[in-house]
Amino acid sequence: MHEARQYVKIENAAVKCSLCSHRCQIGEGKHGICGVRENEGGTLYASTYGEVSAEAVDPIEKKPLYHYLPGTLSYSLGGIGCNFHCEHCQNWHISRAKLDEAHLFSLHPEEGVARAIGSRSASISWTYNEPTIWHEYTLDMGTRARATGLGTIYVTNGYITEEALRELAPMLAAFRVDLKAFTETFYKNICGAHLQPVLDSAALARELGMHVETVTLVIPGLNDRMEEIDALIRWVIEHLGPSTPMHFSRFHPDYKMTDRGATPVATLEKIYLRAKELGLRFPYIGNVYNHQYENTYCPACGAILIERQGFTSRFGELDGQQCGKCGEPIEIVRHVT
């Protein structure tokens, strides 16, 4: 058992966790909403430190990240547990897994970095389940990773607190955050959380110098009203900047949400075009194979900078960090710094 960070001891052997925005007060012998931070004898422990449920070498486009080290591989790790309870979770078999039931293997932070290097990956991603609740482990591994020249990525729901995100900032380079909807009702009813902390963390990640990309899974009848989508895009442009890549992905029925069909591709196309109208430089659609709106285009001249088929990328007119055709600066991270 590894003692947690980001908590304080309070009366009656209870503790208050400050890692995510639930800020759970946890009694002795209990655990937080995430299921993996446990109070034993008045001390909070990170029960899944070094315990891994999934390991893979993925194209970075699978995260999806299109403007951070495009065309490279990312060594990817997942644990168990989550601080959201999304009814449409695609990885529910690990996000909802119990510690004594899950199939886990131990991986020391140094070994994780060595495997990343050995796999010829350019980065390490903590993904598949929510990395926020793996805080101590990702912090230790990420610090080692950055020292070796690897990129570091959170694929996250964004429910991390300001103090926890600031602690990660020296080692965390990319923050790929879900903006699941733009209403409090959706977050409360579908995720068991609140919207504002997610917006706050996304804005703070940008302020701290992290590369930020957003993903919104467009679910028919729940978050696909154009008024809501408009408001979300406008918020991103104002608070994260018009060059922030926004991914609008196609929903497929899963877990507890099988009462509606997949998102019509026409809906995603409409959102893409509206985002361009509003001034977003780099909108994308996702979960639609081999669609032209997965490509990266120069916002000035329309040249194809990166062409994508599935998770495969082919570089076109991109010349470093500018369009090779017209010279327009392109906000993209090509190399780890």
pLDDT in tens, 126-147: 999 999 999 999 999 999 999 9
Distance CA 322, CA 202 (A): 25
Q: How confident is the model at residue 1 (pLDDT cuts 50, 70, 90)?
A: confident
Structure tokens at 131: 């990395």
What DSSP designation does 254 have?
B
Give tens-digit pLDDT for 209-245: 999 999 999 999 999 999 999 999 999 999 999 999 9
| Section 140-160 average pLDDT | 98
Residue 156 has pLDDT above 90, yes or no: yes
| Section 312-332 average pLDDT | 97
| Section 286-314 average pLDDT | 96
- Whole-structure pTM value: 0.97
- CA–centroid distance for 160 within its chain: 11
How many residues appear in the chain? 337
Start-to-end CA distance of the chain, whole Å, equals 34
Are β-strands 54-59 and 51-52 bridged in parallel, bridged antiparallel, or unpaired? Answer: unpaired
Angle at 173 between CA 233 and CA 90, to 5 degrees: 60
For residues 293 and 283, the answer to whether their CB atoms sit within 8 Å is yes
Domain with CATH 3.20.20.70 in the chain: 51-323
> Amino acid identity, residue 277?
E
| Angle, helix 226-239 to helix 196-207, in steps of 10 degrees | 30
How crowded is residue 148: how many other Cβ atoms within 10 Å of its Cβ? 12
Q: Which residues pair with 323 in a beta bridge?
A: 318
- 51-323: CATH class: alpha beta
Give tens-digit pLDDT for 60-108: 999 999 999 999 999 999 999 999 999 999 999 999 998 888 899 999 9
Q: What percent of the chain clears pLDDT 70, i.e. is strictly above it?
A: 100
Q: How many CA atoms lie less than 13 Å away from 221 in the CB half-sphere?
A: 7
Q: How confident is the model at residue 206 (pLDDT cuts 50, 70, 90)?
A: very high
- Return phi, psi of residue 99, to 5°: -60, -40
Q: How confident is the model at residue 303 (pLDDT cuts 50, 70, 90)?
A: very high
Compute the 3-state secondary structure of the chain and give helix, strand, coil in percent, each to the nearest 5. 25, 25, 45
Angle at 234 between CA 195 and CA 174, to 5 degrees: 65
| Angle, helix 135-147 to helix 109-118, in steps of 10 degrees | 50
Q: What is the pLDDT of residue 256?
A: 94
What DSSP designation does 133 have?
G
Q: How confident is the model at residue 337 (pLDDT cuts 50, 70, 90)?
A: confident
- Return phi, psi of residue 3, to 5°: -65, 140
